[in-house]
Amino acid sequence: MTDTARPAPIVEIAPAKLNLYLHVTGKRPDGYHMLDSLAAFTELGDALTLEPQAGELTLTITGPFAASLAGEDPADNLVTRAARRLADTLGRRAEGRIALTKNLPVASGIGGGSADAAACLRALARLWGLPADAPVLFEVAAGLGADIPVCVVGRNRYFGGVGDQLAAAPPLPETHVVLVNPNVPVPTPAVFKARGAAPFSQPARFSEAPRDAAALADLLRARGNDLTAPALTVAPVIADVLSALERSDGCLLSRLSGSGATCFALYATATEAESAAARIRTAEPGWWAQATRLRSDDSAAG
């Protein structure tokens, strides 16, 4: 008699999410804000490995930003909560070992925790034979956080409502990006509180496919991030980050992502992006600055 082979570990990448623009369009009676945003994903991200095995569900975190989560109970991590929520919904048992490599800053506006939870949902879907677009994945995701449904898709999408309304977006051109975070966590609730009763914006979706990075920047320049001003009151250093990106050679557009504190800039070439990131790291050694590029629309998140 031979032992049954253990299923191979399942690896999912949790790419950083950028809000290329973000408009706050209203507020529901329950207090949640309604949004209109174009979300895109980069080639840079966290990595999640699910090792199927009988027994309790466990989570270990390593990587450059693991220390930021060292004091957290693993049971409270979005990854663990996503696994248990999906298992409960399907009437299954949540079990296995999850290893998360934390390459992205925490509470930074680029969907790190949301992308990790989404990667966990995709990994479990693969393990349990669910299609990648199974409605249950998005139902569970929407119940956990506004960014998680779009992170389950992992491709550029428009999203509205409280993140639960996803729509196709035009393909994006090859665009290189620099991400900069001053290593200051910015809790999203604090930013929305600082926003107060500011006026709401209109949706600003476009249907044309920009021909290159410069054309994409032109389209985005007519839009904005409604959370920038309140985020500056929570973390004034964001202004310094935006200024550093704007001064870099080849910068086509600089902007805050989500509620911050991560900012990004768009570039036409990898050389320009890598040079900008290197100069910022030299000038501000306490900041996190990385060059990457946007994922193409046909790039699967995993």
Give the residue numbers annotated as catalytic, written as ranges: 17, 147
Closest CA to 149 of 129, 164, 135, 169: 164
CA gap 236, 242 in Å, rounded: 11
- Cα–chain center distance at 4: 38
Q: How crowded is residue 90: how many other Cβ atoms within 10 Å of its Cβ?
A: 15
21: CB partners within 8 A, 6+ apart: 37, 38, 204, 220, 223, 224, 225, 255
How far apart, in whole angstroms, are the C-alpha atoms of residue 282 and residue 274?
12
Residues 6+ apart with CB under 8 A from 112: 14, 16, 46, 65, 102, 104, 105, 106
Is the separation of the CB atoms in 131 and 37 below 8 Å? no
